[in-house]
Amino acid sequence: MNAPYELVDSHCHLDFAEFAQERSAVVARAQAAGVGRMVTICTKLHQEPAVRAIAEAFEGVFYAAGTHPMSAASEPMATLDQLVALAHHPKFVGIGETGLDYHYTAESAEVQKTSLRVHIEAAQVTGLPLIIHARAADDDIAAILAEGMRAKPYACVMHCFSSGAHLAAAALEMGFYLSMSGIATFPKSTELRDIFAAAPINRILLETDSPYLAPIPHRGKRNEPAYTAFTAKTGAALYGVTEAEFAAVTTANFDRLFTRAARKAQAA
C-alpha cells in the first residue's frame, strides 16, 4: 500500500529480534509506503546502545528510551541523571516508554509507580515528551500523570491508546496526545474508535507498535512501520477527511510533540 503523502510511525521497535534479519529492508519498505520518519523505542535501558545505533544508521529513524512497566521490577531502577544524560543525543526524542501495566504485572504496581515518577521528572527536566504505556491501570495512571502536571507541566503521548474513555478525557484535558495503532482497525474495536472519533484531530498520532498489533488486513502477522498507512486509512474514515488530510494533520501533530524530530529531513 503506497501513500503519496508523508506518514510518521511514532512508536515501533526496530531493535526486536523479528526485524534482525531484514532491518534495512523494513525501513526501506516504510519509506516506500510514505512513512518518512519512525521513532524506535528502547524498553530496557541496558539495550539503549543498540537502539541508538539503529537510529544513527537510518536518516529517518529517531529513538526514545525508558524502562517498560512490565520490566520495572526486573530491571535496575532508572535514575533521573541516567535519562537526562541520554537526552544529549540529537536523535533522542522522547522519554519512555514508561507507565503502568496491571494486566500482566500487577504484583509490581508500586515499583512501576516509582519508575513512572522518575520518567515524568526526566520529561520535565529535558522538555522531551513522555511516552506512556497504560493497561488495566486507568485510575492510577491518570492520578500520577496529573500529579506530575501540577508540579511542572510536560508533554506526553498515550502510546497505543486502548484504554477507556475516562483516561482519554483526562489525558486530553492535560494537553496530551492519543496514539492510534492497528487495534483501531480491528472489527471489534468499535468502542475504541468512538473514543478516537470524539477526540480532537489535532491530538492524534499514528503508530504501529511493530512488530506487534498488525492492522487489518495483516492482523495476525508480523507488523512493520510500512503498515502505518492502513491505520491512517481507518483514522481518516473516523474523522471524515481524506487520507492525505489525515496524514498531514497527524504528521503536524507529531512535529509539534516530538520537536527534536520535526522536519529533520528538510534541515539535513
User: DSSP letter string over 98-113?
Assistant: EEEEHHHHGGGHHHHH
- Please count the other Cβ atoms lying within 10 Å of the Cβ belonging to residue 174: 16
213-260 pLDDT per residue, tens: 999 999 999 999 999 999 999 999 999 999 999 999 999 999 999 999
Q: Say which residue the cell 520518519 belongs to.
A: 37
Q: Say which residue the cell 526486536 belongs to.
A: 16
Give 49's pLDDT tier (boundaries 50, 70, 90): very high
- Mean per-residue pLDDT over the chain, rounded: 96
Give 55's pLDDT tier (boundaries 50, 70, 90): very high
For residues 52 and 91, the answer to whether their CB atoms sit within 8 Å is yes
Q: Are strands 61-65 and 177-180 parallel, antiparallel or unpaired?
A: unpaired
- What domains does the chain contain, in order, with CATH numbers? 7-267 (3.20.20.140)
Give dist(CA 2, CA 17) in Å, integer.
26
Give dist(CA 69, CA 67) in Å, integer.
6
Give dist(CA 113, CA 192) in Å, integer.
26
The angle formed by the CA atoms of residues 141, 142 and 143, to the nearest 5 degrees, is: 90
106-141 pLDDT per residue, tens: 999 999 999 999 999 999 999 999 999 999 999 999
173-218 pLDDT per residue, tens: 999 999 999 999 999 999 999 999 999 999 999 999 999 999 999 9
Q: What is the reported pLDDT for 266?
A: 46
Give 263's pLDDT tier (boundaries 50, 70, 90): low
18, pLDDT greater than 90? yes
* Phi–psi pair at 186, nearest 5 degrees: -70, 140
Give dist(CA 228, CA 117) in Å, integer.
31
Mean of pLDDT values over 15-37: 96
- For residue 64, the SS3 value is strand
42, pLDDT greater than 50? yes
Q: Say which residue the cell 492519543 belongs to.
A: 178
Compute the Cα dihedral for 19, 24, 28, 30 and give only its sign.
Answer: positive
For residues 208 and 26, the answer to whether their CB atoms sit within 8 Å is no
Q: How far is CA 259 from CA 32, 64, 109, 209, in A?
A: 24, 13, 32, 20
Q: What is the reported pLDDT for 62?
A: 98
DSSP annotation of 65 reads E
Q: What is the reported pLDDT for 267?
A: 42
For 47-104, strand residue ranges (E) read 61-65, 92-101
Give dist(CA 134, CA 46) in Å, integer.
22
53, pLDDT greater than 80? yes
- What's the chain's length in residues? 268
- For residue 169, the SS3 value is helix
Give dist(CA 112, CA 126) in Å, integer.
21
Q: What is the reported pLDDT for 140?
A: 98
- Please count the other Cβ atoms lying within 10 Å of the Cβ belonging to residue 212: 16
Q: What is the reported pLDDT for 5?
A: 83
